[in-house]
Structure 1
Amino acid sequence: MQILGIRHHGPGSARNVKDFLEEMKPDIVLVEGPPDANDILQWVGKSDLQPPVAILAYQPEDPQQSLFYPFAEFSPEWQAILYARKNNIPVRFMDLPVMHSMAIEKERIEKAKTQGQEQKKENEVAEPTAIESADATAAVEGDEKAVPHFPIDPISHLANAAGYSDGEKWWEVMFEQRLNNEAIFEAVGETMQELREAFPKENDAREKLREAYMRKVIREAEREMFTNIAVICGAWHVPALTNMPKQKEDNELLKGLPKVKIQCSWVPWTYDRLSFESGYGAGIQSPGWYEHLWHYPKDDGTRWMSKVAALFRGKQMDISVAHVIEAVRLADSLAALRQLPRPGLYELNEATWSVLCNGENILLNLVRDELIVSNKIGAVPEDVPKPPLQVDIEKIQKRLRLPQTADWKDYTLDLRKENDLERSIFLHRLLILQINWGEKTHSSSKGTFKEAWRVQWRPELSVDIVDKGTWGNTVEEAVSSFLIDRCKSSSSLQEVAGLLQLVIPAELTGAASFVATHIANMAAATNDVLELIKVIPKLADIVRYGNVRQTDTDMILSLLTSMVTRVCIGLPAACCGVDENTATAITDDSLKIEHSIQLLKHQPFQQQWQQCLQQIAFNVQAAPMLRGFAVRHLMDAGAMKEEVLYNTFYSSMSKAVPPPEASAWLEGFLKGSGTLLLLDENLWQMVNNWVTQLNEEVFTQLLPLLRRTFAVFSKPERRKIGEKVKFEGSGITKTGTQISINKERAETAIGVVMELMGYSSN
């Protein structure tokens, strides 16, 4: 038996494993990984399974409880599995099965909750001492034998002894980039043996279980008469598998382990996700660089710098061959000063920053994103076992030409085109299912027939798809079932109306009918007008924009007709006897209704709304802000005579009215009217005359309230208003010329003007 200690996702380790296996020619290969996934190893080696990919292990009853085990082309485990598949020899995973690890974690969480509740009850009786508090914390965080936390990783001690501040860099130089790899695995085993003796993890129960199960799988292979066994595992585990304890001790550890049901599948992975810790707690910061090392192990930096130069030239930067030569020379010099056999990523980055980037970190960040990390995404064969919902989603993606990409991709969809309309429907349906592959963004088009989307595929979306697969086998079926369930469980009329807004662009006729009926039933059962007014703008948007998608909106219009009638009848009474905050909220909602009704241009709605405003405007019991709002919008609609408007304005703003009430009336009157105040001279004069007749004491009292009124206007509107007040108050025309009037000369001209107009000068 040969035990090969490796670093997860290490290109040097992967090359060493590949070379060693080709020389050793084992009859079975055992790899650190979840035995639950042994059945899906048959797809490794097929051309359609292109790394980076990951094994997704999840609980069918609770898919959010899941783990990923990612592999890249340069992962030692991947190369070991690939070797076994190509040479038709058995290959098995040998780590602690996920069915046990998830069950153990589940029990730990439940135990922690129970102990936490008991501790809370004890705290209610007496205050705990400092020692008792520490004991309670330890009990919640784990068993009696808690996992110790090292101040630094054990390997970092070797790095520090060698003069490195970073254990990862030391490992990369010593094991991943070295050219002479003779007896490399013996050296790794001896190194780990010394570290384990110096820094034993005696209380790490999970590590003990993992290593006991690894030894169990090795013993099973030996019992099956395999004589040339190759074991590929993380370097830390090598001593534990080399010096095996008695089988009885391992059996005692593994006896009675809890378990849950687990399913596994292959899913695409991305290079940027390789930086995350996964099922075996491994992550790397530079997958793009490691891929380069895998393909060009003897590169002295020339190929890498050529890639960097090509990247910059693609961004229209002037990079010459001389730049590349000088950067490579600088990297070589840095490596020589640091006593390295050749430049590593650190040296190449410093040379790039100095020579190609001219010391600009932004350009170096571009190199990191595009080359060091990269945006590569893997691919999975269609015949890999997948949930039916995932199969349907992938089929639709392929038909609509919406590929899964690791980086953001922008789409501008023209809803007048059949394929773009279907894309929009599909993306809206995924949003309803809370599978956030696409994000709707602002479109530069002023029409309603275009939508802008940004899409980016993330591996964790596979878990969301599995989770939502319980609602149906197809996207349409799952979305409809999920939406109807949300509708039934919702007690808020506003929330259900929001669901209806989601349904319309998703083209779900059956679900739309159900949600609309549910809204009608909830609206009929409620007497809360303030809840109804929040729903009308959403329904109005559906009626207006539904026509762009050729959606039948008659059902929504009928529902909207009923609700507008009820609101117009009940709103005047709801405006009476309310506090300031409620009045502000009703005013804001009423403004939205006003916009919606003007948007729809439906004559019956406009007539009912004006009648409602008439009742509010002249009801002295209504909140002043709402009365001011009603008067203003009646004025805009031409439904109030000019004489009545002036009388109403000045009576509401007279000195007899308390200043706070007058200010509230004015706030409602000017709601959303910054530009109108500038353009309507009559409106301007009414407001300006009222302000100028205020004495200093009243003006000082009203100033904070008036500031709140004008604060909602945009900055350009406030600036224009200030300029207009300045010009009129100073007697300066808009051209900046001072007005100077000679009264004597003006009087002599009066007679001439009168005669020109046909009047007698007498």
Structure 2
Amino acid sequence: MTATEGGGRVASAGAPGAGGPLLLGVRHHGPGSARAVRAALDAAEPRVLLIEGPPEADGLVALAAEADMRPPVALLAHVVDEPGRSAFWPLAEFSPEWVAIQWAVRRGVPVRFMDLPAAHALARGEEEGEGARTDGGGEPAEEAADLDSVRIDPLGALADAAGYDDPERWWEDVVEHRAASGDAFAPFEALGEAMGALRETYGSGGHERDLVREAHMRIQLRAAQREFGSEGVAVVCGAWHVPALREKVSVAADRAVLKGLPKVKVDMTWVPWTHRRLSRHSGYGAGIDSPGWYGHLFSAPDRPVERWLTKIAGLLREEDRLVSSAHVIEAVRLADTLAVMRGRPLPGLTETMDAVRAVMCEGSDVPLALVHDRLVVGDVLGEVPDSAPAVPLQRDLTRLQRRLRLKPEALERELELDLRKETDAARSRLLHRLRLLGIGWGEPAESRGSTGTFRETWRLRWEPELSVRVAEAGVWGTTVLGAATAKAEADAVGAAALADVTSLAERCLLAELPEALPVVMRVLADRAALDADVGHLAQALPALVRSLRYGDVRGTSTGALGEVALGLAERVFVGLPPACAGLDADAAAAMRGHVDGVHVAVGLLGELASSGDGGGPGGPGAPADEGEPVVVGTAGAVGDVDSVRSPSAGGVRGRWQRVLRGLVGGERVAGVVRGRCARLLMDEGVLAEGEAARFMGLALSPGTEPGEAAAWIEGFVGGGAGGGMLLVHDERLLGLVDTWLTGVSEDAFVDVLPLLRRTFAAYEPGVRRTLGELVRRGSGQQSSAALMTEGAPGFAAELDPERADAALPVLGLLLGLGGEQERGGAGRGGAADGGAGRSRNRLVGVA
């Protein structure tokens, strides 16, 4: 099949009794051609049937008669040693070739494919550098594009000669809507003459590949004639080739054309296909625009327009559109009227869709697009029987799909999994293993119902190309589990970056590959030990820590993973302070992202440690002070680095907080990193009351470069981490920012304005509006010193204990503190009163 043939081909035939074979030129995927072929074969009753297609598929013809074979399907040929180099020959229910095969197998008539063997076609594609993958009919996709520029579209040329501007409309008028005549061969004779005239005018198309294919077809035709007699042979092929098959060419000339063709070893089988892949816009060069519409025309026993519009009405009702029987009746009348006005014998797709838009869709193209997607194109997925040849991996996948009740479907659908259920957990493992193998049947999606780790959401959609991916993955093993294990081990050894190995470890846990995980962990440990780049270590840690959660949900042992994660975290703690010194703007922004990722990972690692998961010295389940390493800083790189070295404070979270505090006070640390660390410490509740304002005051002091100060602000209140609300509720911080900004020189203001606008533009509109109101009413005009000493407007200088105590019982209930607020209130006086006062301050602040 060629790109031009798929666009539309007409026919030429030699009637039986004329001293030659019956040549039935067709339009591939044309329902009119399919009906005409069936009628011609019923009339001629040939003894053998030759069909355009690869001869390697001769042994697969009998499968077309099995009950489990449901079109659309495709013949798939792939190189044995390189399954990725493949070609498809799609067939739909309304394809003339499929109708001819069905006719032959039901009557016991031999069927032979006569096109150039796939062994030569795929080898030629490699030799000519036209790309490994081919699309449709053995025609390399790149070559199909070249053919468009040198070969005419026969259907378009005939339509233009008849005065039509749309070849599809012309084909419908002269073929699909043509009343059946008594002569079954008349349509082939009439259209064949036109095709012959086109080849006389434009030549054979001008491409060497057609000459090779047609030479092989003539050789196959001669062999069939010698065996069954000329009048016992019927040929179903693209009409473009019919004049070439009638051409008088010597056997020696044809053999000379085929001499020396390269050859590779190929395997062939049937695979499911879809209507969507038959459509031209999907990338199949010999496709059609409306496979769903053509399928309807072929299968409708009578009144096709009425049945089509009724089907559309049913689809719209399913989508909650108000469509009644009156709409259908009115749409049929309008379609008939449009056909009369446009001079057409019957309404075609254009008239019916115009009527649907006007009557059922009320002029809107939105529901019309749904109709086009679901019905005009369609999501029909074919089926092939189990007896069809397949690689062992495909058979194992089919077995798993049936056991887990995961039927491949062409229409995209969402699948919600609860990993606490055995069947859902097995489905999750299968989908993750297929993703490891590059078989993208399912893609993870965001869960809408729950954020727990026991929930997974997948989007499933089976594409015909996945059959090729399965064949490609067959080199890794004969089962999905074995192939995924081998592929993961190979990917671990060949991974380029540490983050790739940690991501692979996470995927191995998701896919539950117990044999591959030790190999991945050895590679991970080796890479982590040799990699001195703190950025790489920081990138690797989050995925590694996330993987520790899967032990709870999936029952996977993560002890070794926990040890590696703890060791990686310690190396980050040691290397991060010197790595944050002397960074430019881009490097500082990247380092801020690393700090955020490590902070989240450490938080999760601390939770796992407190719950007793994992193992290893100083890791989950160990006492706080046991096995705590001494972290050595780099002198002069940051401020209070020595505080990291204290062995008294236990736990990974405590060590991380000391690293952050050292970064906050580091003079050589980039402003955006210092600001971010201060914000993280404040969110953790580590900074004492007013200490955040002190750090901000130091960062915004007159001696600090304006650009560096603006970067500190971005790190502290930027990044969408609630910084806007922080300024709204703490007017001391807002006043510091405002005072600094009003004191910046005009030249410096121009430099820092883009950075500040980027920071504040990330806030919600309501937050920005509130900040503007606060500044407008004068909150930001007070000096930072006044804000530090006098407090924010609207608040007293000191806390009123009685009024605060009155709110404590309610706040305790809201916050789940039980009776703690009563104990705090009873202990006023002396040092205890100071502690209670700070508690009340925090409660009031939360309120």
TM-score, normalised via structure 2 length: 0.78
- Matched letter for residue 221 of structure 1: A
Aligned to 2:272: 268
The residue that corresponds to 1:189 in the other structure is 192
Q: Which residue is 1:740 aligned to?
A: none
Deviation of residue 643 (structure 1)? 7.0
Partner amino acid, structure 1, of 2:485: S
Q: Structure 1 residues 491, 299: closer, same or farther in 2, change over 3 A?
A: same
Aligned counterpart in structure 2 of residue 689 of structure 1, from 716, 729, 736: 736
CA distance in 2, matches of 1:696, 1:469: 69
Residue type at the aligned position of 2:379:
N
Answer whether contact 1:148 1:203 (CA < 8 A) is retained.
no
**1:63 is paired with a residue of what secondary structure?**
coil
After superposition, what is the alpha-carbon deviation per residue over 1:403-455, rounded to whole angstroms, capped at 9, x for unaligned?
11111111111111111111111111111111111111111123222111111
Structure 1 residue aligned with 2:370, among 366, 370, 390? 366
Task: Please give the per-residue CA displacement for 1:560-613, whole angstroms capped at 9, x wherever unaligned.
Answer: 111111111222122223323222221221122112222333461112212322
Q: Map of 1:316-715 to 2, 5 A cutoff?
A: 316-444=320-448, 445-601=450-606, 602=609, 604-642=651-689, 647-672=694-719, 675=722, 678-679=725-726, 684-689=731-736, 691-692=738-739, 695-698=742-745, 701-702=748-749, 704-705=751-752, 708-709=755-756, 711-712=758-759, 715=762
Displacement, 1:400?
A: 0.9
**Range with bigger deviation, 206-215 or 156-165:** 156-165
RMSD (Å) for aligned C-alpha atoms:
2.9
1:209 matched to 2:229? The reply is: no
Structure 2 match to 1:178: 178
3-state SS in 2 of match to 1:411: strand
Bigger mean CA offset, 423-432 vs 525-534 = 525-534
1:101 partner letter: A
Q: Which runs of 5+ in 2 are unaligned?
A: 1-20, 133-141, 610-649, 781-796, 801-847
Q: Secondary structure of 2:85's match?
A: strand
- SS of corresponding position for 1:56: strand
Is the CA contact 2:154–2:195 (under 8 Å) kept in the aligned structure 1? no
Structure 1 stretches of at least 4 aligned residues deviating more than 6 Å after TM superposition: 277-280
With over 3 angstroms needed to count, the CA separation of the structure-2 counterparts of 1:543 and 1:714, relative to structure 1, is: farther
> Which region of structure 1 is more displaced relative to structure 2, 48-57 or 724-733?
724-733
CA contact (8 A) 1:177 1:297 kept: no
The residue aligned with 2:87 is 67
Q: Partners of 2:278 and 2:147 in 1: how far apart?
A: 25
Cα separation, partners in 2 of 1:202 and 1:515, compared to 1, 3 Å: closer
Partner Cα distance (2:342, 2:768) in 1: 67
Normalized against structure 1, the TM-score is what?
0.86
> What do residues 86-134 of structure 1 show as CA deviations (whole Å, max 9, x unaligned)?
111211000111111222222222899xxxxxxxxxxxxxxxxxxxxxx
Residues 664 and 352 of structure 1: CA distance in aligned 2, closer, same or farther (over 3 Å): closer
The aligned counterpart of 1:757 is none
Between the aligned partners of 2:660 and 2:291, the Cα distance in structure 1 is: 65
Seen in structure 2, the aligned counterparts of structure 1 residues 339 and 687 have a Cα distance that, compared at 3 Å, is closer
Letter in 2 for 1:106: E
1:154–1:199 Cα contact (<8 Å) kept: no
Question: Shift of residue 10 of structure 1?
Answer: 1.2
Task: Assess if the C-alpha contact under 8 Å between 1:155 and 1:195 holds in 2.
Answer: no
State whether residues 188 and 235 of structure 1, in contact with CA within 8 Å, keep that contact through their aligned partners in structure 2: no
**Is 1:39 aligned to residue 67 of structure 2?**
no
Contact 1:568 1:609 in 2 (8 A): yes
Matches within 5 A, 1:190-269: 190-201=193-204, 203-227=206-230, 228-269=232-273
1:326 is paired with a residue whose SS is helix
Instruction: Tell me how far apart the structure 1 counterparts of residues 725 and 733 of structure 2 sit (CA, whole Å).
Output: 12
Identity of aligned pairs, percent? 41
Q: Is the 8 A contact 2:278 2:284 kept in 1?
A: no
CA shift for structure 1 position 658: 2.8
Aligned partner of 2:807 in structure 1 is none
**Structure 2 residue 62 is the aligned partner of structure 1 residue 58:** no
Give, in whole Å, the separation in 2 of the partners of 1:471 and 1:254: 36
- Residue of structure 2 aligned with 1:105, choices 107, 125, 145: 125
Q: Which residue of 2 aligns with 1:741?
A: none
Letter of the structure 2 residue corresponding to residue 385 of structure 1: P
Residue 429 of structure 2 contacts residue 512 of structure 2 at CA under 8 Å; is this kept in 1? Answer: yes
Letter paired with 2:659 = C
Task: Count how many residue pairs are aligned between Structure 1 and Structure 2.
Answer: 704
Distance 1:253 1:246 in 2: 11
- Per the alignment, residue 156 of structure 1 pairs with 156
CA contact (8 A) 1:674 1:718 kept: no
More displaced stretch, 273-282 vs 379-388: 273-282
The 8 Å contact of residues 68 and 384 in structure 2, kept in 1 or not, is answered as yes
User: Take 2:23 and 2:739, find their aligned partners in 1: how far apart are those partners?
Assistant: 92
User: Following the alignment from structure 1 to structure 2, what is the Cα–Cα distance between the partners of residues 425 and 676?
Assistant: 40
3-state secondary structure, aligned to 1:201: coil
Residues 654-710 of structure 1 deviation map (CA, whole Å, 9 limit, x = unaligned): 222333333333333335475356358895414523532565443762465365256
Is residue 25 of structure 1 aligned with residue 49 of structure 2? no
Q: Distance in 2 between matches of 1:638 and 1:374?
A: 57
Q: Which residue does the alignment assign to 1:126? A: none
- Whether contact under 8 Å (1:56, 1:266) holds in the other structure is yes
Partner Cα separation in structure 1 for residue 376 and residue 41 of structure 2: 29
Give the deviation of 1:320 after TM superposition.
3.0
Residues 148 and 662 of structure 1, relative CA distance in 2, 3 Å threshold: closer
Q: Distance in 2 between matches of 1:643 and 1:364?
A: 62
CA distance in 1, matches of 2:507, 2:760: 31
CA distance 1:649–1:98, change in 2 (3 Å) = same
Q: Which moved more, 1:548-557 or 1:149-158?
A: 149-158
Q: Is the 8 A contact 2:151 2:205 kept in 1?
A: no
Structure-2 change in CA distance of 1:545 and 1:13 (3 Å): same
Contact conserved, 2:706 with 2:744, CA < 8 A, in 1? no
Quick one: distance in 1 between partners of 2:283 and 2:109?
25
